[in-house]
Amino acid sequence: RREVINADVSGIPTRADLGFKEDDVVLACFNQLYKIEPKVFAVWMKVMAQNKKTKLWLLNFSKAAYKYLRKEAERRKVDGSRLVFHSKFPKHSELLVKAHADLF
C-alpha cells in the first residue's frame, strides 16, 4: 500500500535493534500464542536444531508462556535464547518492522 511505501522509516528498529544478526534466518509467527500447536512448534525446533543461524520471532503475551516456550526449546536441544519475543508494534510501523523476518 502507498502508506507503507511512502512511510517515514526513521525510528524503525533495525534487525540488530530487535536482537537479530544480519546473517540470522528469522522465522516469525505473530499469532496469539494459543494458536501455536505442539506439532508446529516441534517442526520449528527441528529446523532450528539443524540450522544454527535461525531464530524464532514471537509475540510476547505473558511471562509464563515466554518461560515455557524457552524451556521446551531447550528440551529439544535448541538454545532458548534463540526464541526472540517482542511486544506488539505501533500500527504505523508494524509492517516495516515485520519486514525484518525472513519467513512467516
Tell me, what's the pLDDT at 52? 97
Q: Which triple of cell numbers denotes residue 65?
A: 508462556
pLDDT at position 96 over 60:
yes
Whether residue 3 has pLDDT greater than 70: no
pLDDT value of residue 4: 52
With CA atoms as reference, report the closest residue to 83 among 96, 98, 65: 65
Residue-wise pLDDT tens digits, 18-66: 999 999 999 999 999 889 999 999 999 999 999 999 999 999 988 999 9
> Closest Cα to residue 86, out of 25, 32, 18?
18
Query: Of 44, 36, 10, 31, which Cα lies nearest the Cα of 88?
Result: 31
What phi, psi does 56 have (nearest 5°)? -110, 120
pTM of the model: 0.87
Q: What is the mean pLDDT of the chain?
A: 90
Q: What is the pLDDT of residue 90?
A: 87
If one counts every other C-beta atom within 10 angstroms of the C-beta of residue 90, the result is 8
Query: Which pLDDT score, from 0 to 100, does residue 6 have?
Result: 57
